[in-house]
Chain A
Amino acid sequence: MKPKTVSSQMAITWGRGLKISKRSKPLGSRIADICIWVTLLLVTALCVLPLLNMVSISFSDRVAAQANEVGLLPVNFNVGAYKVLLGDTQFWRSFMISVERVVLGTALNMLLTILMAYPLSKSKQQFRSRNIYMNLLIFAMLFSGGMIPTFLVVKSLGLLDTIWSLVLPGAVPIFNIILLMNFFKSIPSSLEEAAIMDGATKLKVLFKVYLPISLPALATISLFAIVGHWNDYFSGLLYINKAANYPLQTYIQQLNIDVTKITDVSQLKAVAEISNQTLNAAKIVVSTIPVLLIYPFLQKYFTSGLVIGSVKE
């Protein structure tokens, strides 16, 4: 009996009962280890190299970048592109529009998510119309009028070319509402009952009882909302006509357009050669900095986000 206890101890230490000791590992297993390491390192390199290339270009000499001499390290390291970028008023205008959109969009998303998730987390006995609302939400999630009818509605409301066209059409994040609803369902009802006894209204219960214990779920959902709003380039293209009012990612996407809108192969090559690669690279790098800044927090939470993403019955 005793050896078994020891080895299950090992299983906990190593995560598995495979390795009793390093020495006892057979040759085949060691070769497999080497192959696994090599593959993983290659895959990881493959993930980071394209991004590194862009960063290197942004710090390189303009001529070297144009001549496609930049690989993984900058050629003639300099911050010239970033200096020019500091004075690029359109870039910063778009940057601020994106910031405004993230703030407004995330705030609205979260407010509506919280307000809708709470009543929906109640049972049919507690909230009689619950299933009607739920079915409407699921229907809206599964089926849509499509790009053109939605565009025409936004247009007829006079929202085109305003920040609201980027914020209001996606104001109700149904999937997130379902995530939070499931989280709320797991909160013991005794907490709510105690507060109601003390004379609290439902709204007060939601904000004073539910929200404080749902902070991790709320953090996960808001981080995803922030990234979603920041990264979306297509609404900007769809709803904003004046290039001066583009949010940042739409502005970035338009930098590529010179290359992508061209029908002729030789022209495509020519345009690619004259565009200011180092400046564009600097713009791209700076446009991802906000995402990189919240990435550590995201990483802390997104595993839990995925886990609450599905309901085990």
Chain B
Amino acid sequence: MDMKKRGGQLEYHLMLAPGMIFLIIFSFIPMFGIIMAFEDYVPAKGVFGSEWVGFENFKYMLEIPDSMKILRNTLVIAVGKIILGTLVPIIFALLLNEIRLKWAKKSIQTIVYLPNFLSWAVLAAVFINIFDYHGPVNNFLQAFGHKPILFLGSNEWFRSIIVSTDVWKGFGYGAIVYLAALTGIDPGLYEASSMDGANRFKQLLHVTLPGILPTIMLITALNLGNILNAGFDQIFALYNPIVYETGDVIDTYVYRIGLIGQQYSFATAIGLLKSVVSCVLILSANELSKKLANMRIF
């Protein structure tokens, strides 16, 4: 029996080996690339041959005005997305929960879940068209006597468009978890409260909301881990130099400065700072959700 157990151990290791090789190559080796953040990396000299500069890149980060700008943009967009991206799915789930017609409920769900599965490349094309200077939204505004607005070329509008289109894409899918929580509420509670004379609004406040509160807290805690993720795929597909002022976020900046501008070290330093902060946030979110809802992701 002991022999058999030990044999099992080797088999387990062998099963994990292929995946671990990929992880080593594409996750752990790049982590050593972080050394570049403390160097003046020159591709010809390599990671180990380039000059060591210590915290120079980080000091430079504090000096240039771009840093404050991208940090502010990232936070404003991410916080906007977290707040609306939490509220809208909850409200939608509560409204949908009031509907008894099964086929109507099903049809609405089928439609609103769909955008979540479309790529930002496709949706960017859709929204560039919708928010075009001569597009449907502007036609609508003009019908009410407003001047047309170049939405995606306006620093006043860009962030709102980013936040709202992101909520548009994800709210239906985000509502699923609340709809699942709503079906878990004991029908007897509604029965009891209606016998006590509670109307629908009172039931919402005293039965429904408390019933899904643990789920709300869990999802909010998990979302907090995203506070430095403004959504690269979306912003990259929708932004343009006119709106760098309000729309340039950490990830898009790292891509442009690092890979296009080839300032590898500086971009890696920014990326590293973001990685560290995000890591701390996600770990705290995990701890928080463990405390709030006795649930955790890992």
Footprint of B on A, CB under 8 Å?
A: 7-8, 11-12, 14-19, 26, 28-29, 32-33, 36-37, 39-40, 43-44, 46-48, 50-51, 53-54, 57, 68, 71, 111-112, 115-116, 118-120, 122, 126-130, 133, 136-138, 140-154, 157, 168-172, 177-178, 196, 201-203, 206, 227, 230-234, 238, 249-250, 252-253, 255-256, 259-263, 265, 268-269, 272-273, 277, 280-281, 284, 287-288, 291, 295, 298-299, 302-303, 306-307, 309-313
Which chain B residues border A43 with CB–CB below 8 Å?
Answer: 92, 112
Cβ-defined contact, A8 with B237, below 8 A: no
Cβ-defined contact, B22 with A15, below 8 A: no
Cβ-defined contact, A148 with B237, below 8 A: no
Do A71 and B31 contact each other (CB < 8 Å), given the known contacts A142-B279, A148-B267, A256-B128?
Answer: no
- A281–B236 Cα distance when bound, in Å, is 20
A151 CB to closest chain B CB (Å) equals 6
Which chain B residues border A269 with CB–CB below 8 Å?
Answer: 133, 150
Do A54 and B126 contact each other (CB < 8 Å), given the known contacts A148-B271, A261-B240, A262-B240?
Answer: yes
Cβ-defined contact, B95 with A36, below 8 A: yes
User: Does B255 reach chain A (CB closer than 8 Å)?
Assistant: yes
B258 CB to closest chain A CB (Å) equals 5
Do A288 and B122 contact each other (CB < 8 Å), given the known contacts A29-B199, A146-B254, A298-B117?
Answer: yes
Which chain A residues border B112 with CB–CB below 8 Å?
Answer: 43-44, 47
Cβ-defined contact, B117 with A68, below 8 A: no
Cβ-defined contact, A39 with B95, below 8 A: yes
Cβ-defined contact, B114 with A234, below 8 A: no
Do A40 and B259 contact each other (CB < 8 Å), given the known contacts A26-B199, A310-B297?
Answer: no
Cβ-defined contact, B9 with A127, below 8 A: yes
B135 CB to closest chain A CB (Å) equals 6
Footprint of A on B, CB under 8 Å?
A: 4, 8-9, 11-13, 15-16, 18-20, 22-23, 25-34, 36, 92, 95-96, 98-100, 108-115, 117-122, 124-130, 132-136, 139, 150, 153, 168, 172-173, 176-177, 180, 187-188, 190-191, 194, 199-201, 203, 218, 232-233, 236-242, 251, 254-255, 258-259, 264, 267-268, 271-272, 274-276, 278-279, 282-283, 290, 294-298
Do A53 and B129 contact each other (CB < 8 Å), given the known contacts A143-B279, A149-B34?
Answer: yes
A182 CB to closest chain B CB (Å) equals 10
B77 CB to closest chain A CB (Å) equals 17
Do A146 and B133 contact each other (CB < 8 Å), given the known contacts A238-B259, A310-B296?
Answer: no
Which chain B residues border A268 with CB–CB below 8 Å?
Answer: 150, 153, 240, 242
Cβ-defined contact, B282 with A142, below 8 A: yes
Cβ-defined contact, B180 with A307, below 8 A: yes
B156 CB to closest chain A CB (Å) equals 14
Cβ-defined contact, A57 with B129, below 8 A: yes
Contacts A/B (CB < 8 Å), 6 sampled: A146-B275, A149-B32, A202-B8, A249-B122, A302-B176, A312-B294
Name which residue of chain A comes closest to B10, CB basis: A202
A144 CB to closest chain B CB (Å) equals 6
B128 CB to closest chain A CB (Å) equals 6
- A209–B116 Cα distance when bound, in Å, is 34
Name which residue of chain A comes closest to B139, CB basis: A68
B219 CB to closest chain A CB (Å) equals 10
Cβ-defined contact, A50 with B130, below 8 A: yes
Name which residue of chain B comes closest to A179, CB basis: B297
Which chain B residues border A280 with CB–CB below 8 Å?
Answer: 125
Which chain A residues border B188 with CB–CB below 8 Å?
Answer: 8, 11, 17
Q: Which of A15, A138, A309 has the most CB of B within 10 A?
A: A15
- A160–B22 Cα distance when bound, in Å, is 17
Name which residue of chain B comes closest to A25, CB basis: B200
- A253–B23 Cα distance when bound, in Å, is 29
- A202–B282 Cα distance when bound, in Å, is 35
A1 CB to closest chain B CB (Å) equals 14
Which chain B residues border A148 with CB–CB below 8 Å?
Answer: 33, 36, 254, 258-259, 264, 267-268, 271
B220 CB to closest chain A CB (Å) equals 14
Cβ-defined contact, A303 with B176, below 8 A: yes
Cβ-defined contact, B12 with A122, below 8 A: yes
Cβ-defined contact, A115 with B16, below 8 A: yes
Name which residue of chain B comes closest to A202, CB basis: B11
Name which residue of chain B comes closest to A252, CB basis: B121
Partner of A252, one of B122, B218, B283, B298: B122
For the complex with contacts A17-B190, A47-B111, A291-B117, 11 further pairs of A-B residues with Cβ separation under 8 Å are A26-B199, A29-B200, A115-B16, A116-B19, A144-B31, A151-B259, A196-B4, A252-B119, A252-B122, A268-B240, A272-B133
Cβ-defined contact, B129 with A306, below 8 A: no
